[in-house]
């Protein structure tokens, strides 16, 4: 009922661990598969190791989660070792994720990580909390998206997905540019820029001051982004942002997503949230006489 194919890659179900959650170790990613995910996205990797931002780097409440971890990661060499180990112990689809400061570096990193047994490569062009180091995210610039996509595609054979930002007002047009430049899929979306202030301390809570908003507050924004992108491109969409329940996941698919990224829900509902969402999706589909996800993908775009 939930079996899904994306870029000719079979997934037991459409749920994938979103990038940035639970690190890059083979063991942690394998546990996510055992807990019910159909695939995993590794935490975004850079050429050299990064420690990220000083604490405090995250906070959460009932309505949103805010983080400015700062893309901490062990670097490409150590990251590849974990990806190889994951595939030795788990056959589930593996999505690599990289970030860089220039188009040339994206292409170089892609070539390096492609030696690992990844099934899809996500290019993170849109992290909202490292502006001081990298400047304006590439995900705001159609020309930058086009160049990075073309240069990366020239270096690797693995399918690539371009991760876009909900902060961009013209996200559908940017997705269209990525598709025209050769992207195989779109990941929509990253977190949205936000801030929290402690009234008694009279200062921002996060050391970085600003961070990325995820959790329930992001969901309607992400859902609209997926909806708009689906009308602009023909390539698959990995719908990500604020998915908490099986109903949320089905809404993403009805908006046009092929795969559904789940991240902050781990904070809200526990690491076994993937199994819970799978069970909820299955129950709703039985109630609504839906035999497969293909029957409802993009159905929300029907004439009213």
Binding annotation: 19, 43-44, 67-71, 163, 189-191, 215, 241-242, 263-264
CA-nearest of 146, 59, 155 to 115 is 155
CA proximity to 32, closest of 52, 13, 50: 13
Work out the angle at residue 78's Cα, subtended by the Cα atoms of residues 88 and 148, and round it to the nearest 5 degrees: 100
* CA of residue 27 relative to chain centroid, distance: 20
- Token readout for 131 is 């502006």
Q: Tell the residue number behind the tokens 């179900």, with chain if given.
A: 13
The tokens describing 202, both together, are 């009279």
Q: Where do runs of H (alpha helix) occur along the chain?
A: 26-34, 76-89, 103-113, 131-134, 142-153, 171-180, 219-232, 246-255, 265-269, 273-287
- Among the listed residues 190, 193, 244, the one whose alpha carbon sits nearest the alpha carbon of residue 63: 244
Residue that has been written with the tokens 């909202």 in this structure? 128
Q: How far apart are CA 294 and CA 249, in angstroms?
A: 14
Residue 225 annotated as catalytic: no
SS3 214: strand
Active-site entry in 6, 90, 127, 225: 127
How distant, in Å, are the alpha carbons of 4, 19, 255, 259 from that of 15?
9, 12, 15, 6
Cα–Cα distance measured from residue 178 to residue 148, given in angstroms and rounded to the nearest whole number: 9
Residues contacting 113, CB < 8 A, separation 6+: 45, 76, 79, 80, 83, 96, 98, 121
Q: Which residues are catalytic?
A: 127
């Amino acid at each position: 009922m939930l079996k899904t194919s994306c870029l000719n890659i079979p997934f037991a179900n459409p749920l994938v661990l979103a990038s940035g959650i639970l690190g890059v170790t083979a063991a942690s990613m394998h546990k996510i598969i055992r807990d019910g995910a159909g695939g995993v996205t590794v935490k975004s990797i850079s050429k050299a190791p990064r420690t990220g931002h000083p604490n405090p780097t995250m906070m959460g409440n009932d309505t949103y989660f805010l983080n400015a971890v700062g893309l901490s990661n062990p670097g490409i060499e150590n990251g590849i070792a974990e990806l190889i180990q994951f595939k030795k112990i788990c056959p589930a689809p593996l999505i690599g994720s990289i970030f860089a400061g220039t188009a040339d570096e994206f292409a170089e990193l892609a070539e390096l990580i492609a030696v690992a047994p990844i099934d899809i490569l996500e290019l993170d062009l849109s992290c909202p909390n490292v502006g001081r180091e990298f400047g304006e995210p590439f995900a705001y610039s159609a020309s930058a998206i086009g160049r990075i996509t073309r240069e990366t595609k020239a270096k690797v054979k693995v399918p690539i997905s371009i991760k876009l930002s909900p902060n961009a007002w013209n996200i559908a047009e940017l997705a269209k540019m990525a598709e025209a430049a050769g992207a195989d899929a779109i990941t929509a979306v990253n977190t949205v820029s936000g801030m929290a202030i402690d009234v008694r301390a009279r200062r921002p809570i996060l050391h970085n001051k600003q961070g990325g908003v995820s959790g329930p507050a992001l969901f309607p924004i992400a859902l609209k982004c997926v909806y708009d992108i689906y009308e602009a491109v023909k390539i698959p969409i990995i719908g990500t942002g604020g998915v908490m329940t099986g109903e949320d996941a089905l809404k993403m698919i009805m908006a046009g997503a092929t795969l559904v990224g789940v991240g902050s829900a781990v904070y809200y509902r526990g690491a076994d949230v993937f199994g819970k969402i799978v069970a909820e999706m299955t129950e709703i589909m039985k109630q609504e006489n839906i035999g497969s996800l293909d029957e409802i993908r993009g159905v929300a775009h029907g004439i009213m």
